[in-house]
Amino acid sequence: MAKQKNYGMVIDTRVCVACSACVYACKSENAVPEGFCRDWVVQETEGAYPRLRMENRSERCQHCANAPCVTYCPTGASHYSDGTVQVNSSRCTGCKACLAACPYDARYVHPDGYVDKCSLCKHRLDEGLDTACASVCPTASLNLVDYNDPEGKAEKMMAGKEVYRQKEHAGTNPSLYWISASNKPGA
């Protein structure tokens, strides 16, 4: 029997060029309403001229293994599924507690009256497809992974590199790993 899936992402910021293709692919795939986004692109510049260091990255829901939104949701609308965090819109009252609970500010209130966010394209994963964002990423910065995959794709990608997770000290155990831009030659 196949092991239970435990999806996540390994995001290689060394090759991200902040083109925003992931954002548009997501908007199109998930009919994200105008003025909102499930994923977004961040450019972080550190240091002082001329010694500057820039990291580009595509951000989204972290699909935490210990997700405060799921903990706090009063109706069970926010729930875990195969290592991802999903929102059942037919149980969501729009109380917005999950927005307050999320340390990553990854959620928004959909104009139709429920809370929405990145679903890691669960509807595509269930059909064996890649996420919309990863499928269009021109530099393979975005990588869908299954941490239970015996071939260990995630471990292989990250081996020997400086890898981090965002706000780990929030105790959320996020499922998104980031290969730091500081791994770039000359960084």
Partner 1 sequence: MTAETTAAATELVSTKMNPNVIPHLHIWEWHIPLYLFLGGIAGGLLVITSLMIIVKRKFGIGPKDEGDGCPCLAVRIGSLLSPALLGIGMLFLFLDLAHPLYVWAFYTTVQPTSPMSAGSWILIAFFPLAILQAALVNKKFLRERNIGIVNKLIDWTEDHLTVVALVNAHIGVGIGIYTGILLSFFSARPLWSSSILGMLFLVSGISSAAALMLLLAPDDEKPVYSMIDANAIWIELVVVGLFVLGGITGPANNSGAMMHLIAGNYPMAGLPYMLWFWGIFVALGLVIPLLLEFLEAAGVHIRFPQVAPVLVLVGGLVLRFLIVFAGQTYHTFM
Which residues make up the interface to partner 1 (CB under 8 A)? Answer: 20, 23, 35-37, 40-48, 59, 68, 71-77, 90-97, 99-105, 107-110, 113-115, 167, 170-171
From CA 103, how far away is CA 68, in angstroms rounded? 8
CB of 90 to partner 1, least distance (A): 8
In order of 123, 125, 160, 164, 187, the CA distances from 183 in angstroms are: 34, 30, 10, 12, 7
CB of 34 to partner 1, least distance (A): 10
Cα radius of gyration (the chain):
17
CB of 125 to partner 1, least distance (A): 24
From CA 121, how far away is CA 74, in angstroms rounded? 24
CB 140 within 8 A of CB 10: no
Q: Which is nearer to partner 1, 42 or 140 (by Cβ)?
A: 42
Q: Which is nearer to partner 1, 78 or 125 (by Cβ)?
A: 78
Q: Which is nearer to partner 1, 55 or 146 (by Cβ)?
A: 55
Q: Which is nearer to partner 1, 9 or 32 (by Cβ)?
A: 32
Q: Which is nearer to partner 1, 58 or 146 (by Cβ)?
A: 58
Q: Which residues of 132-169 are buried (b: 16+ CB within 10 A; e: fewer)?
A: bbbbbbeeebbbbbbbeeeeeebeebbeeeebebeeee
CB of 71 to partner 1, least distance (A): 5
CB of 144 to partner 1, least distance (A): 21
